[in-house]
Amino acid sequence: MSVKVTILPSGREFTSEGRSTLLEAGLRSGLALGYGCSNGNCGECLATVISGEVRQTRHHDFKLSDAQLAGGQVLMCANSAITDAVIDAPEAEGGHEIPRQQLSARVRAVTLANDGVALLHLKTPRTRRLRFLAGQRVRLGGNGMPAASHPVGSCPCDDMNLHFQIARIPGDDFSDYVFNQLKKGDKMDVCGPAGDFILDESSTRPLVFIAWHTGFAPVRSLIEHAISLDTAPAMCLLWYAPAGSDHYMDNLCRSWRDALDNFQYVPVHAVSPAGADLTAESIATLSGIAHMQLADHDFYVAGDESIAAACKNDLMRIGVPENQVRLDHAPNGGGVKKDKS
């Protein structure tokens, strides 16, 4: 049986089913609920039940005081909604409200998507998960390996399993290490999150996602978040594969297109390695959006630094407001920023 949970003070709602905890169900629905360990130890996901029935379904070590219990306070990570409920709970309104965290994760897998892209899967400890917003970056490295900043290429709803798409970049120390030395079971430090390449959840405009090569990583995270929210009137993904590369997660993109009535996916084989084909005119043609209607959309552009910036400038040239074009960019088109610390 499913029940509806309303969060105050924002008024956002989500559906919970079965024994899913309030935290699990809220994160799956795309809400940026406040929490720490998500394992019943820290107390940072404390919320107040205003109405409805909520029951403890998971063990927790954090001790609530008699006053907290009397006031209807519960841990979202350990309690489930039994009936429709209203709770007062913390939510992050932007990247600046997500605390900086540092943890050590294990390499679950390193898989070659093709000769130029490695898919890196990290698993965090159950008691030290990473809280982040879709589209944000973290610093990876440590334990004797080079460090670099990469966007998380997976949904915040699964905070134990972090996925990254690492481009092969000759001369880049971190890239070389991932492709040639990193193996399953290795430890890797994760520090973050950082960045404001996140969805504008207050917007009601259609969304256009533009990914250049491994810029697909943060775009994937944003799309999965947008699907969870289910508020965008329409979504379009243009994924540009530069010469010598391919759309290494093409099946995933096609599954979104097939499952969602309002989702369009256009794989593009770029003609120019410099991204000269990411113009407003080509975007309008590929997406099927009338040139004069581009300004009615929100754009999220990720990939090579110079290409992403040029794309934004061209969209602004034809009248798209600056605040409707958000960028996540990295040098060399690899989705990577070298660590300077």
pLDDT in tens for each of the 341 residues of the chain? Answer: 799 999 999 999 999 988 899 999 999 998 999 998 888 888 999 999 999 999 999 999 999 999 999 999 999 999 999 999 999 998 988 888 899 999 999 999 999 999 999 999 999 998 889 999 999 999 999 888 999 999 999 999 888 999 999 999 999 999 999 999 999 999 999 999 999 999 999 999 999 999 999 999 999 999 999 999 999 999 999 999 988 899 999 999 999 999 999 999 999 998 776 666 789 999 999 999 999 999 999 999 999 888 999 999 999 999 999 999 999 966 544 445 545 44
Same domain, 155 and 175: yes
Ordered strands of the 73-75 beta sheet: 13-17, 2-8, 85-88, 46-51, 73-75
Picking from 34, 139, 152, 51, the residue whose alpha carbon sits closest to that of residue 93 is: 34
Residue 340 inside a domain? The answer is no
Cα atoms found within 13 Å of the Cα of residue 313, Cβ hemisphere only: 7
Residue 110 has a pLDDT of 98
CA distances from 335 to 108, 146, 148, 230, 299 (A): 21, 16, 10, 27, 18
* pLDDT value at residue 333: 42
- Determine the pLDDT at residue 337: 54
Q: What are phi and psi of 118, to 5 degrees?
A: -110, 135
Question: Are 78 and 151 members of one domain?
Answer: no
Question: Is the domain of 129 the same as that of 30?
Answer: no
pLDDT of the residue at 329: 65
Both 229 and 330 in one domain: the answer is: yes
In a domain, 83, yes or no: yes
55 and 112 in one domain?
A: no
Work out how many domains the chain is built from and give that number: 3
Q: How far apart are CA 117 and CA 35, in angstroms?
A: 33
Q: Collapsing DSSP states into helix, strand and coil, what is residue 6?
A: strand
The pTM of the full predicted model, rounded to 2 decimals, is: 0.89
Q: Is residue 202 part of a domain?
A: no
Distance CA 294, CA 11 (A): 31
Q: What SS3 class is residue 220?
A: helix
Residues 222 and 180 in one domain: no
Do 329 and 225 lie in one domain? The reply is yes
State the CATH number of the domain containing residue 105.
Answer: 2.40.30.10
Rg, the chain, Cα only:
21
pLDDT of residue 270: 87
pLDDT of residue 167: 96
Whether residue 15 is found in the same domain as residue 71: yes
119 and 83 fall within a common domain = no
Beta bridge partners of 141: 189
Is residue 199 a part of any domain in this protein? no
Secondary structure string (H, E, C) spanning 262-303: CEEEEEEECCCCCCCCCCHHHHHHHHCCCHHHHHHCEEEEEE
Instruction: Supply the CATH number for residue 220's domain.
Output: 3.40.50.80
Output the pLDDT for position 278. Answer: 86
Assess contact for 101 and 80: CB atoms under 8 A: no
pLDDT in the model for residue 269: 92
Same domain, 157 and 272: no
- Of 91, 121, 143, the one marking the end of a domain is 91
- CB-based burial label for 184 (10 Å; 0-12, 13-18, 19+): exposed
Residue at 176 is within a domain: yes
Instruction: Please list, residue by residue across 75-104, b when 16 or more beta carbons sit within 10 angstroms of its beta carbon and e when fewer do.
Output: bbbbbbbeebbbbebbebeebeebeebebe
Q: Note whether 222 and 273 are same-domain residues.
A: yes
- Could you tell me the residue range of the domain that residue 310 belongs to? 207-334
The length of the chain, given as a count of residues = 341
Q: How high is the pLDDT of residue 244?
A: 84
Please tell me whether residues 211 and 325 are part of one structural domain: yes
Bridge partners of residue 188, in order along the sequence: 105
